[in-house]
Structure formats: structure tokens, C-alpha cells
């Protein structure tokens, strides 16, 4: 395995891990605003006075043996329409830096599998957060011997908002802010100072909106998760937050909550490092046995770093974990 191979794997997975978890959290916290922002026509047909329910177990039962490429954020939600009908919505969010040829087929397969299993109409929708402006698949199907089977699905594309960041930040919608944060994260890749300034801009907006405390904290966590900074700049961010709260005589993020946010960030980083190392190990040694997967899932940061160094030169999988003991 060459250094170029390793860099390609690392760069791809780091991008995925940076965006995956924040989107999952945000969709669950602000689902009505998610639909209102990206799919306003669907939003108008849903009766939001009725409870909506996430059907994660049902989704897992269908897709666990239907892998067609990496899934990033998948949600299955039961909603009630304005006419009283119950409907299921399959939401897929593709967060990646490259186009994926099987994406439209995956939407097609999951739609008919969900219908086949539960005999309920399924509305499939997708948000594409990659950076390829011209890649926007909206249908998949086939025609054979007079038989035509096609799925057409609405797609929201984040590149459509790249020149509208100021407009997004003026809207009172959580996903307008999250979309802006995602775009600014992409635009400031490898530019720490620019990211620091963009992150401060978003945080100041949180405090200016006079939203309730929990909303501010939840959105701050999403922004903080997306817009990673070196520790020294991160400390400056916290200093600015403290200054804002003292000046405005408000306290949204207490020391205890700050510790919790830091812990969540660490856990997210460890999960990303573990996934990346697993990818590298599989690239070199093939499918991993259970014992190796268990080691990766429970390892502290120091062990992950040691194994990451060993994977480059170790002759066998066992040697990766054995060699790291001598480091």
C-alpha cells in the first residue's frame, strides 16, 4: 500500500466523519424545520399538529442486507398528512466529496424494499451535500419488454446555496443556519483562521436571535461538531462565548455543559479515527475478525494512534496490535 493509497482513504473518510454525526443529530432535533427548508411542498401536505415518529428499527430491518455503497444519514419517519392519511417518509442525506454512481439505484432499492415489507407508500427524499454542482440524480428505473419501473424523487442540493450564505443566515430556520455552517466548513477546509472567523460569526448569530437556551446549545453543538479547529483557536472561541455571555448578562453554556460538549467531541473524534483505522486495516489485510473489530471499538486514543503507525509496516494483522505494545 502506497502513501497515496493511504492519503486517499484518509481524506475520504475524514470528510465523511466530519459531517455525518452533526447531520444525524440535527435532523432528529429539527425535523419539521428540515422538511420546511428543503422540501416546502411536502411540508405543506403534512399535519404537524400530529406526532411524527422515527422508525429506525424498521429501516434497519430493510437495509441491513441491501448495502449499495456507504449510507451516511438515513431516516425513516411516520407522519400524518393533512387529509388524515398516515405516510412514511424515507430521508437520505448523502454527505460526501465524490459523486456516487449507485446513489439513485440505492434510493430506488430502499423505496421498493420498504414498500414490499410494510405495504405503505414511501416518499423518498434526498439532500446532497457534496461539492459537485452538476451531479443531481433525481430518478432511477428501467424499461424491459414494455414494462416500465421508475422512481422519481425530490432532491435538495447544498451547492445551490453556495452564493446565498448571507441570505441563509437571515432566515429563522435551524437548517438555514446548518446549511450555512456546512458550506462555510467546506469553504474553509485547511484555512484555520478563516474557519475561526466564520465559526464566530455563526455563534454570534445564535446569541443575537434570542432563541431559548436549549435551541442555542443544540445548534452550537452542531456548529462546533462541523467546524473543527485546533485547540488553541478553540480556546479563543470559548473566550469569545464567555465575553458575549458576560456582556449580554446571559448564561447559555455552563461549565458543566462545556465539559459535556468537549466529551462528545472527543467521542466523535475517536469514532472517526476508529473507522479510518478499520478502513486501512481492511485495505491491507481483508475482512477483519471479530476480535480486531472489538479492539478498535473499545480502544483509547493512544492505542488508535499506535496502531495507525503500525499498520504501515506490520506484516500481519496480529503484528499491528502486537508491535504497538513496544511503541
Q: How distant is the alpha carbon of residue 2 from its chain centre?
A: 29
Q: Is 228 helix (H, G, I), strand (E, B) or coil?
A: coil
Give the separation between CA 313 and CA 67, rounded to whole angstroms.
31
Q: Round the average pLDDT of the chain to a whole number and report it.
A: 81
Mark residue 84 as left, alpha or beta (left: phi above 0; alpha: psi -120 to 50; beta: remaining).
left
* pLDDT one-digit tens code per residue, 232-252: 888 898 888 888 888 877 666
Check: pTM over 0.95? Answer yes or no: no
Angstrom distances, CA of residue 218 to CA of 162, 189, 196, 211, 276:
24, 23, 19, 11, 27
For residue 210, what pLDDT is reported?
80
- Which H or E run contains 256? helix 255-285
| Rounded to 5°, angle at Cα 17 from 13 and 23 | 140
For residue 312, what pLDDT is reported?
72
* pLDDT one-digit tens code per residue, 89-126: 888 776 655 677 888 998 899 899 989 888 888 899 99
Amino acid at each position: 500500500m502506497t502513501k497515496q493509497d493511504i492519503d486517499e482513504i484518509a481524506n475520504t473518510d475524514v470528510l465523511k466523519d466530519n459531517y455525518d454525526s452533526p447531520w444525524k443529530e440535527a435532523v432528529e432535533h429539527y425535523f419539521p424545520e428540515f422538511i420546511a427548508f428543503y422540501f416546502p411542498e411536502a411540508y405543506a401536505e403534512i399535519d404537524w399538529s400530529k406526532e411524527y415518529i422515527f422508525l429506525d428499527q424498521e429501516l434497519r430491518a430493510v437495509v441491513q442486507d441491501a448495502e449499495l455503497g456507504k449510507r451516511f444519514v438515513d431516516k425513516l419517519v411516520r407522519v400524518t398528512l393533512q387529509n388524515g392519511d398516515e405516510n412514511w417518509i424515507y430521508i437520505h442525506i448523502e454527505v460526501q466529496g465524490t459523486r456516487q454512481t449507485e446513489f439513485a439505484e440505492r434510493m430506488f432499492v430502499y423505496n421498493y424494499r420498504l414498500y414490499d415489507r410494510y405495504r405503505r407508500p414511501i416518499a423518498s427524499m434526498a439532500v446532497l451535500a457534496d461539492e459537485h454542482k452538476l451531479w443531481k440524480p433525481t430518478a432511477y428505473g428501467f424499461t424491459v419488454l414494455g414494462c416500465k419501473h421508475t422512481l422519481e424523487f425530490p432532491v435538495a442540493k447544498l451547492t445551490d446555496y453556495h452564493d446565498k450564505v448571507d441570505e441563509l443566515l437571515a432566515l429563522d430556520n435551524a437548517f438555514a443556519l446548518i446549511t450555512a455552517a456546512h458550506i462555510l466548513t467546506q469553504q474553509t477546509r485547511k484555512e484555520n483562521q478563516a474557519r475561526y472567523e466564520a465559526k464566530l460569526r455563526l455563534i454570534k448569530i445564535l446569541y443575537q436571535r434570542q432563541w431559548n437556551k436549549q435551541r442555542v446549545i443544540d445548534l452550537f453543538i452542531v456548529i462546533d461538531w462541523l467546524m473543527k479547529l485546533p485547540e488553541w483557536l478553540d480556546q479563543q472561541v470559548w473566550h469569545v462565548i464567555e465575553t458575549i455571555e458576560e456582556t449580554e448578562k446571559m448564561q447559555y453554556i455552563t461549565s458543566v455543559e462545556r465539559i459535556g460538549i468537549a466529551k462528545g467531541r472527543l467521542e466523535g473524534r475517536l469514532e472517526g479515527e476508529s473507522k479510518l483505522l478499520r478502513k486501512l486495516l481492511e485495505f491491507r489485510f481483508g475482512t477483519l475478525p471479530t476480535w480486531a473489530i472489538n479492539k478498535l471499538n473499545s480502544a483509547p486514543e493512544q492505542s488508535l494512534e499506535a496502531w495507525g503507525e503500525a499498520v504501515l509496516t506490520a506484516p500481519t494483522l496480529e503484528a499491528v496490535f502486537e508491535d504497538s505494545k513496544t511503541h
